[in-house]
Amino acid sequence: MLQDTTLINTKKPLGWKSPDEENPMIGWRGASRYYSDKYKEAFGMEIKAIKRVREKMGLDNVVIMIPFCRTVEELLNVYRVMESYGLKRGERGLEIYLMAELPSNIFMAEEFSKHIDGFSIGSNDLTQLILGLDRDSALVSSIYDERNIAVKRAISHLIKISKKTNTKVGVCGQGPSDFPDFAEFLVKEGIDTISVTPDSLLKTLKTLSKLKN
């Protein structure tokens, strides 16, 4: 499992209302908020909190993870905002992970890897965006499956690039918890870490232990 990792989750500041969107799933979320003039002040509050946790409380093993980052330029824009609040990748051992949940993260894995310390595969959104479906829609939810060959090929490619560029790679989606064979696939591909839900931990460990025998 990913250890000592903090996922930056955007919280709405007091008196602020998120804009209405027809399709928020692929709208204004993740990295695009963090460098926006409409939101970066709130993001700055999160950066200050992380800076305090790392530098004043001494928990310098906390890692930042940036979600839903569409392009390398978006990633660099987020870094600029972070640096304006005194937090910079590499200083005091700070590591930055990228949530790999978009096809662009897969296709441009080598380019992204130049600016991060690790990938964390978000198999839920990655599956939805590769297959082009909403897993919460009863009309198409039966098609949703992290084990779809297109999704597995994307994950295999990302792991391969991660090994090539010496970038850490893990998974934090629901797939390994629901399907032991999916967890087995990830291990065989060379994944570094797997995150699972507490209720599936023993089941997953039992499955993976067989691979060592």
Q: Where in the chain are the domains?
A: 5-212
DSSP state of 12: P
Please tell me the predicted confidence (pLDDT) of residue 1.
32
CB 63 within 8 A of CB 5: yes
Give me the pLDDT at residue 9, please: 46
Residue 15: the pLDDT is 56
Q: Is the pLDDT of residue 18 over 80?
A: no
Tell whether the model's pLDDT for residue 139 goes beyond 80: yes
Supply the pLDDT for residue 49: 96
Confidence of residue 19 (pLDDT cuts 50, 70, 90): confident
Residue 68: pLDDT band with limits 50, 70, 90: very high
CB atoms closer than 10 angstroms to residue 35: 19
Q: What is the pTM of this model?
A: 0.87
Binning pLDDT at 50, 70 and 90, where does residue 16 land? low
**How many angstroms separate the Cα of 69 from the Cα of each of 26, 29, 76, 109, 119?**
11, 9, 10, 12, 12
User: Span 183-203, mean pLDDT?
Assistant: 91
Q: What is the CATH number of domain 5-212?
A: 3.20.20.60
**What gap in Å lies between CA 74 and CA 195, rounded to an integer?**
26
Over 70: is that where the pLDDT of 159 sits? yes
- Give yes or no for residue 202 having a pLDDT over 70: yes
Q: Which residues pair with 65 in a beta bridge?
A: 7, 97
